[in-house]
Structure 1
């Protein structure tokens, strides 16, 4: 199956995700309005400013359509700001969110931009070789429901998790040459489109 994967292109690091998808042989579609969601097999919500993306999602009811698709087993992957937007609870914030993952997220949990860093993560679901992860003003999941699988932690904080058709990372996998996270998401797309 030739995969068409949408990348939410309202703000943030959408170009880098699109480039990775193209390298992996997918057709990457920039999503800016509801009609752009037609005919895609999965959606990536990139890093950026979660409050800004949240406001833009409310235009043309784009966010409501994504929420509806996500609640019906459509594969969605949120990185950094995308993790925030997927969560049902955001600590100390009433900002717009998609309210899909049974998680509680804390924004800017590792400090401001100057506290950005790279590290190696152990992600058993992706083999024994460590995964290089780039954290930029990153969130983390403070709480997850029992139906949420924890894929990786850093310093005791949950930074990578999956709930069925939903995947969320606090880091930016599009900024390294290791494409295993995107390949994992493409595998999720295969799972849900074979059903």
Structure 2
């Protein structure tokens, strides 16, 4: 039996790193740029990048509604950084008219930690994992508020952002405001692969 096919939204963002990490975990990774490729996927990763550009390109390539429909139908989806914004139902400090795919009952604040120069990294406790995760934040959002069905998975535990939620799960949807594809720790991706396999 082969593993599931997990796509990576490939119109914009750090696609290669996610494809590599998924491949290392024994699943069939697939770069997704059009609806026919999405149809072949059992799950999907929406990478970091620029959330407004992602939404516009998804519209241009006629992928936006297909993505939204698959998420509504329960396709497991994992968003990182900009991908978290794409999955959020509500945005603070979004661009004028900014669209999201939705699905996660959260409010995110775009660029919450500041500009590129304010990027940072640190260790986080992550629900379901033994030992801390080394998290890299690059122009990252944070979660302002969550709905009743959303489980916070990680919070920043120091500095001015202490207590802010930076990872969540709601049913088949997961999101982190940091970049777990950077570096060699594949445990968060493994959690997502397990989620896809169980669905």
Superposed pair shares fold, TM > 0.5 = yes
The DSSP-based 3-state class of the residue aligned with 1:103 is strand
Q: Deviations over 1:112-149 (max 9, x none)?
A: 1111111000013112x101111000001101001000
In structure 1, the residue matched to 2:163 is 156
The number of equivalent residue pairs is 191
Cα distance, 1:92 vs structure 2: 3.1
Displacement over 4 Å in runs of 4+:
none
Are 1:98 and 2:101 an aligned pair? yes
In structure 2, the residue matched to 1:38 is 39
**Where does the alignment leave 5 or more consecutive residues of structure 2 unmatched?**
157-161
Cα distance, 1:74 vs structure 2: 0.6
Comparing 57-66 with 28-37, which one deviates more in the overlay? 57-66
Comparing 89-98 with 43-52, which one deviates more in the overlay? 89-98
The DSSP-based 3-state class of the residue aligned with 2:165 is strand
- Specify which of 163, 172, 181 is matched with residue 165 of structure 1: 172
Cα distance, 1:152 vs structure 2: 0.4
Normalising by structure 2, what TM-score? 0.93
Instruction: Report the Cα distance in structure 1 between the residues aligned to 2:26 and 2:6, rounded to whole angstroms.
Output: 11
Instruction: Report the Cα distance in structure 2 between the residues aligned to 1:99 and 1:41, rounded to whole angstroms.
Output: 18
8 Å Cα contact 2:23-2:29 kept in structure 1: yes
Instruction: Report the Cα distance in structure 2 between the residues aligned to 1:92 and 1:17, rounded to whole angstroms.
Output: 27
**Where does the alignment leave 5 or more consecutive residues of structure 1 unmatched?**
none
The DSSP-based 3-state class of the residue aligned with 2:191 is helix
Structure with the largest fraction of helix: 1
